Chain A
């Protein structure tokens, strides 16, 4: 069964700093990968997704993620964060063409200092 590991549980950055949140998955086959964001008091929203093609995926609000198959990783990046990026971020994986479940990591809580 697939699983997802997010290395950082809580990240604190100042505005304009660069961001990278780590995500590793365990599954030997083809995968679909996702990053979701949950702003305080709200439900999850899809930031970006990868299911084939260019391993560098661009999402909303200036976020991007790179799929590195050899490392089983799908790290989220943003060159310059804003206070409004304060939220919890979840990485998720789906075993493509085999399973219909999406399994989530435990999340990374990001706090941006103004």
Chain B
């Protein structure tokens, strides 16, 4: 049972480039979220999804897009990378509403130069 799988683990982008961070879970979880982690800022919610075809914005959605075409996958797209998007990105999933807590992926460390 793989849990939540994120790829890539590390990425360096140039300002203005676009890319997609991949997230997949094999637990048949309905709820999935993307967070970014920055020193002293904790984890901030970017986007989340309560099921296939349904997404919503979190605390810091600007500059990011998501879609949820299947239950398993929840990719995060950076439209035009900026240095302010240098961060560690975590994907998480949950069986049910937030009451069960999330299972986290191992993270993607992104540097924008």
Within 8 Å by CB of A102, from B40, B50, B98, B106, lies: B98
The reply to whether A94 and B99 contact each other, CB–CB distance below 8 Å, is: yes
- Using C-beta atoms within 8 Å of the partner chain, give the interface range for chain A: 20 to 34
Q: Does A54 contact B (CB under 8 A)?
A: no
CB contacts (< 8 Å) of A46 on chain B: these are 101-103
The reply to whether A106 and B40 contact each other, CB–CB distance below 8 Å, is: yes
- Using C-beta atoms within 8 Å of the partner chain, give the interface range for chain B: 20 to 34
Chain A positions 36 through 51: 1 when the CB is less than 8 Å from some CB of chain B, otherwise 0: 0000001111100101
Question: Of residues 33 to 51 in B, which have CB atoms within 8 Å of A's CB atoms?
Answer: 33, 35, 40-45, 48, 50
Q: Does A32 contact B (CB under 8 A)?
A: yes
The reply to whether B104 and A44 contact each other, CB–CB distance below 8 Å, is: yes
Bound CA span A101–B48, Å: 7
The reply to whether B104 and A102 contact each other, CB–CB distance below 8 Å, is: no
CB contacts (< 8 Å) of A43 on chain B: these are 90, 104-107
The reply to whether A100 and B48 contact each other, CB–CB distance below 8 Å, is: yes
The reply to whether B99 and A51 contact each other, CB–CB distance below 8 Å, is: yes
Q: Does A74 contact B (CB under 8 A)?
A: no
CB contacts (< 8 Å) of B59 on chain A: these are 103
The reply to whether A96 and B99 contact each other, CB–CB distance below 8 Å, is: yes
Q: Does B74 contact A (CB under 8 A)?
A: no
The reply to whether A102 and B33 contact each other, CB–CB distance below 8 Å, is: yes
CB contacts (< 8 Å) of B33 on chain A: these are 101-102
The reply to whether B90 and A44 contact each other, CB–CB distance below 8 Å, is: yes
Chain A to chain B contacts (Cβ below 8 Å), 13 pairs: A43-B104, A43-B106, A43-B107, A49-B99, A94-B98, A96-B97, A100-B31, A100-B50, A101-B58, A104-B44, A105-B42, A106-B42, A107-B42
Point out residues on B near A: beta carbons under 8 Å.
31, 33, 35, 40-45, 48, 50, 56, 58-59, 90, 92, 97-107
